[in-house]
Amino acid sequence: MSRLSLRLPETLHQQLAFQARREGVSLNQYLVFLLARFSGPAYSARPARESAEQQRENFSRLRQQLNSASPEENRKALQELREAGPSDPELTPELMERYQRLRSGEGEDRK
């Protein structure tokens, strides 16, 4: 586990602390959540549902499928995946809406 020291305006600290309390989590947990979500698809942490061996087999099968597809088919599949958005079952529609507002720069999350 890494540690990060961050200087931020008091008003932002208060706003984040308020949002964390509203979500019922610690400020640290809330900040980790936000950082993970805003870091994009490159970072995703969730418990593995399959064994390491099953994951290797699935990955190998996926590579074979991608190698046999045309570049256009691969681009289309990637675009469909991007449009589908996150598939985490813990992301409720309300949470996704709030995330989209924050990500689009609409400012403070208001209920």
Based on the fold, state whether residues 36 and 11 are members of the same structural domain. yes
Domain range for 23: 7-44+88-111
Measured CA to CA, the distance from residue 25 to residue 35 in angstroms comes to: 15
How does pLDDT run across 27-44, given as a tens digit for each residue? 999 998 888 877 766 555
Based on the fold, state whether residues 14 and 37 are members of the same structural domain. yes
Does 110 have pLDDT greater than 60? Answer: no
In a domain, 1, yes or no: no
Based on the fold, state whether residues 58 and 70 are members of the same structural domain. yes
Based on the fold, state whether residues 60 and 34 are members of the same structural domain. no
Compare 110 and 71 and report the one with higher pLDDT. 71
Number of folded domains that form the chain: 2
pLDDT for the residue 91: 59
Q: Decide if 29 contacts 20 (C-beta within 8 A).
A: yes
State pTM to two decimals: 0.37
Does 46 have pLDDT greater than 60? Answer: yes
Q: Whats the size of the chain, residue-wise?
A: 111
Q: How large a percentage of the chain has pLDDT more than 90?
A: 22
The model's confidence at residue 109, banded by pLDDT at 50, 70 and 90, is: very low
Measured CA to CA, the distance from residue 27 to residue 16 in angstroms comes to: 7
- Neighbour count for residue 38 (Cβ, 10 Å): 11
Measured CA to CA, the distance from residue 75 to residue 38 in angstroms comes to: 23
In a domain, 80, yes or no: yes
Compare 6 and 79 and report the one with higher pLDDT. 6
Based on the fold, state whether residues 93 and 80 are members of the same structural domain. no
In a domain, 2, yes or no: no
Token code pair at residue 96: 């996704």
Compare 16 and 69 and report the one with higher pLDDT. 16
